[in-house]
Amino acid sequence: MEENQVKNPDMTTGRRKEASARVRVITEGSGRILINGRKLEDYFPIITHQAMVKRPLLVAELLEKTDIKANVKGGGITGQAGAISLGIARSLLEIDPSLRSALKKEELLTRDPRAKERKKYGRKGARRRFQWTKR
Instruction: Measure the CA–CA gap between 17 and 25, rounded to whole angstroms.
Output: 23
Could you tell me which CATH number the domain at 11-105 has? 3.30.230.10
pLDDT above 70 as % of the chain: 93
pLDDT at 2 over 90: no
Residue 28 confidence (pLDDT): 87
Q: For the chain, which residues make up each domain, given as ranges?
A: 11-105
pLDDT at 1 over 60: no
Confidence of residue 29 (pLDDT cuts 50, 70, 90): confident
For the stretch 106-129, pLDDT in tens is: 999 999 999 999 999 999 999 999
pLDDT at 58 over 70: yes
pLDDT at 64 over 60: yes
The three-class DSSP label of residue 14 is strand
